[in-house]
């Protein structure tokens, strides 16, 4: 396996040749550059005959049709993506989307080609290259959590979601860069992730690497993790579809936790259909994550099979107009730009047959973000319990991680505030009571108005610029997450899906989010599909 930490040259490392240790500000760049070492291993093999299949904006159905017709092989598809990863890794300023490339990707592709020839597709995701957030365990690649501290950590197990993807025929093509220990868009492991629609702006987080990778077509589908919006944020700002499922629908086993009462995983894709196909594979009960027992009997035979272009016809949709982020002012230019797109989206939904009810506000909706942020009590306990499961982990506690002094300063500051707090503290009860009050308020509003779903902008403001000192300053002035409306879904535990809703005049994507009651993913996917098919707002960034 190739090294994530050092690029080998003539038996020595680059750092040894320079006779210095990389400074903190350069560590991410040093580690990111070694991805190319893995690419060299993955790509090296006898060349294939030319295959004309175009991977940009390709879909699962399109790939499988090309394979059935003989136009494409699995090995050819994987080579296409590996070549694109290499191209983007060399293009400054680096997007830093990829943390680690699977050095076995081509050999796995050849095996799948043999299976296809002899037996047909292995499963519904046969040879689909997946970009996996590096918060999720893989037994054949490092799992770094975006941190230099775990650069060589290879778990001795696969996460349940990884096992299910592989059993369905998918290839874990690469692990993606993430905000260190699941927050923001920068870490000590691989540096700053950049938004390809405007590389001076942040890509949202913390699944930023997956969002960037999927929108520039470095993989076909992605998996993100969402504690407080980390699937939907990067999806919204990259013109992607991102689904946060009901908390108990998808197993979290094999994922480093943040707040277990809101942690979940889900698909990040370029189309709603591909998101539904991925959900078909990853949803369901896992005894190693007992909360998923609640999903039994609540999962349709297929999320993908039920998608209909007229799903919005007759649907009752409530539009939330009130910003949930109190930092947003209605006179801000960014707010006005996003609001124009929301107004247009509402008109588009009406044109597609939906009955749209303007709520303007829900009682207490402007307190959602504050309530969510009351929960500082779960992280240390959950992190320590998780690390205790891994005897080969380089650190066994959150405190030990922070004592190294190597975590990104902003993230270290935030994590330090969580030390010493437990779910037995009285403040945790206050959080739970406030959360439940908001959950009842939302359900009552939907019941009183006979609503099928709520709709709101994922962000009420475009992504802000990356601060120049974001790798050194514990308090960078980048207004990260300005306009954030994502927290209502994890706070209530309800599923939500963001879908492209157009662009600002500056060419920045705007995402609009559908949220429903628990286990209404099939309905939400249907609404998103009808909106997607009726508007076709998805547009990749320019090269």
Banded pLDDT at 88 (limits 50, 70, 90): very high
Quick check: 372 and 487 in contact, CB under 8 A? yes
Higher pLDDT, 93 or 13: 93
pLDDT of residue 10: 32
Banded pLDDT at 175 (limits 50, 70, 90): very high
Q: What count of residues does the chain have?
A: 543
pLDDT of residue 40: 58
> Of 24-38, 204-218, 338-352, 436-450, which range is least confident?
24-38
Task: Tell me: pLDDT of 216 over 80.
Answer: yes
Banded pLDDT at 316 (limits 50, 70, 90): very high
| Buried b or exposed e, range 360-381, using 16+ CB within 10 angstroms | eebeebeebbebbeebbbbbbb
| Token pair in block for residue 452 | 């099928």
Banded pLDDT at 21 (limits 50, 70, 90): very low
Helix boundaries (H) for 142-270? 160-167, 208-215, 232-236
Distance, CA of 429 to CA of 506 (rounded, Å):
44
Distance, CA of 487 to CA of 340 (rounded, Å):
22
pLDDT of residue 129: 98
Closest by CA to 438, choosing from 485, 515, 492, is: 492
The answer to whether the pTM exceeds 0.85 is: yes
Q: Beta strands 221-226 and 264-269: pairing type?
A: antiparallel
Banded pLDDT at 31 (limits 50, 70, 90): low
> Of 35-44, 226-235, 371-380, 419-428, which range is least confident?
35-44
Quick check: 25 and 52 in contact, CB under 8 A? no
Distance, CA of 181 to CA of 146 (rounded, Å):
6
pLDDT of residue 72: 96
Sign of the dihedral through C-alpha 60, 64, 65, 71: positive
pLDDT of residue 361: 75
State pLDDT tens for residues 477-531: 999 999 999 999 999 999 999 999 999 999 999 999 999 999 999 999 999 999 9
pLDDT of residue 426: 96
Percent of the chain exceeding pLDDT 70 equals 91
- Three-class DSSP category at 27: helix
pLDDT of residue 391: 95
pLDDT of residue 372: 97
Active site residues: 133, 206, 230
Task: Tell me: pLDDT of 45 over 80.
Answer: no
pLDDT of residue 53: 87
Q: What is the mean pLDDT of residues 381-410?
A: 98
Task: Tell me: pLDDT of 433 over 80.
Answer: yes
Residue 92, classified by CB atoms within 10 Å of its CB into exposed (0-12), middle (13-18) or buried (19+), is exposed
Query: In what helix (H) or strand (E) does residue 319 lie, and over which residues does it extend?
Result: strand 316-319
Task: Tell me: pLDDT of 292 over 90.
Answer: yes
pLDDT of residue 42: 61
Q: What are phi and psi of 132, to 5 degrees?
A: -115, 125
Distance, CA of 177 to CA of 4 (rounded, Å):
12
pLDDT of residue 115: 98
| Token pair in block for residue 336 | 């006005």
pLDDT of residue 17: 31
Banded pLDDT at 359 (limits 50, 70, 90): confident
pLDDT of residue 7: 28
Percent of the chain exceeding pLDDT 90 equals 87
Task: Tell me: pLDDT of 6 over 60.
Answer: no
Closest by CA to 167, choosing from 215, 115, 211, is: 115
Banded pLDDT at 13 (limits 50, 70, 90): very low
Task: Tell me: pLDDT of 429 over 60.
Answer: yes
pLDDT of residue 52: 73
pLDDT of residue 5: 32
State pLDDT tens for residues 91-138: 887 999 999 999 999 999 999 999 999 999 999 999 999 999 999 999
The single residue listed with the structure tokens 């706070």 is 491
pLDDT of residue 38: 60
State pLDDT tens for residues 333-344: 999 999 999 999
State pLDDT tens for residues 464-477: 999 999 999 999 99
Banded pLDDT at 89 (limits 50, 70, 90): confident
467 alpha carbon, distance to own chain's centre? 22
Higher pLDDT, 210 or 33: 210
Mean model confidence pLDDT for the chain:
92
Quick check: 221 and 267 in contact, CB under 8 A? yes
């Amino acid at each position: 396996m190739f090294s994530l930490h050092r690029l080998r040259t003539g038996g020595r490392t680059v750092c040894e040749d320079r006779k210095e240790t990389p400074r903190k500000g350069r560590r991410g760049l040093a580690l990111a550059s070694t991805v190319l070492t893995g690419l060299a291993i993955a790509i090296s093999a006898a060349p294939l005959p030319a295959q004309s299949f175009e991977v940009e904006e390709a879909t699962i159905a399109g790939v499988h049709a090309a394979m059935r017709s003989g136009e494409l092989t699995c090995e050819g598809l994987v080579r296409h993506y590996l070549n694109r990863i290499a191209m983007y890794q060399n293009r400054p300023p680096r997007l830093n989307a990829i943390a680690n490339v699977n050095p076995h990707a081509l050999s796995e592709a050849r095996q799948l080609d043999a299976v296809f020839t002899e037996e047909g597709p292995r499963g519904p995701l046969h040879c689909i290259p997946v970009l996996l957030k590096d918060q999720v365990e893989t037994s054949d690649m490092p799992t770094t959590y975006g941190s230099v501290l775990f650069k060589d950590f290879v778990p001795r197990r696969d996460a349940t979601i990884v096992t299910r993807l592989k059993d369905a025929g998918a290839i874990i093509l690469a692990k993606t860069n993430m905000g260190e220990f699941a927050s923001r868009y920068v870490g000590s492991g691989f540096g700053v992730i950049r938004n390809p629609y405007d590389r001076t702006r942040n890509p949202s987080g913390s699944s930023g690497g997956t969002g960037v990778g999927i929108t520039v077509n470095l993989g076909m589908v992605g998996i993100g993790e969402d504690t407080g919006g980390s699937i939907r944020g990067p999806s919204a700002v990259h013109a992607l579809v991102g689904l946060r499922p009901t908390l108990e629908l998808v197993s979290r086993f094999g994922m480093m936790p943040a707040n277990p009462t809101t942690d979940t995983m889900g698909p990040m894709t370029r189309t709603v259909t591909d998101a539904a196909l991925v959900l078909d594979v990853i949803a369901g009960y896992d005894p190693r994550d007992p909360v998923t027992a609640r999903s039994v009997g609540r999962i349709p035979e297929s999320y993908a099979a039920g998608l209909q272009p007229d799903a919005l016809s007759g649907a009752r949709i409530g539009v939330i107009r009130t910003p949930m982020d109190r930092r947003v002012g209605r006179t801000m230019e960014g707010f006005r730009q996003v609001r124009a797109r929301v107004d247009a989206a509402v008109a588009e939904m009406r044109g597609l047959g939906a009955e749209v009810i303007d709520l303007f506000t829900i009682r207490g909706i402007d307190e959602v973000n504050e309530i969510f942020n009351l929960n500082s009590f779960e992280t240390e306990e959950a992190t320590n319990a998780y690390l205790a499961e891994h005897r080969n982990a380089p650190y066994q506690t959150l405190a030990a991680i922070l004592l190294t002094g190597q975590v990104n300063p902003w993230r270290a500051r935030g994590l330090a505030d969580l030390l010493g707090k437990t779910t037995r503290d009285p403040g945790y009860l206050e959080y739970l009571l406030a959360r439940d009050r908001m959950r009842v308020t939302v359900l009552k509003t939907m019941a009183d108005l006979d609503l099928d779903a709520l709709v709101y902008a994922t962000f009420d403001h475009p992504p802000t610029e990356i601060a120049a000192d974001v790798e050194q300053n514990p308090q960078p002035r980048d207004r990260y997450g300005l306009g954030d409306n994502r927290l209502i879904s994890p706070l209530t535990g309800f599923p939500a899906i963001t879908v492209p809703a157009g662009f600002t005049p500056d060419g920045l994507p705007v995402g609009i989010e559908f949220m429903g009651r628990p286990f209404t993913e099939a309905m939400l996917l249907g609404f998103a599909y009808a909106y997607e098919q009726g508007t076709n707002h998805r547009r990749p960034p320019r090269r």
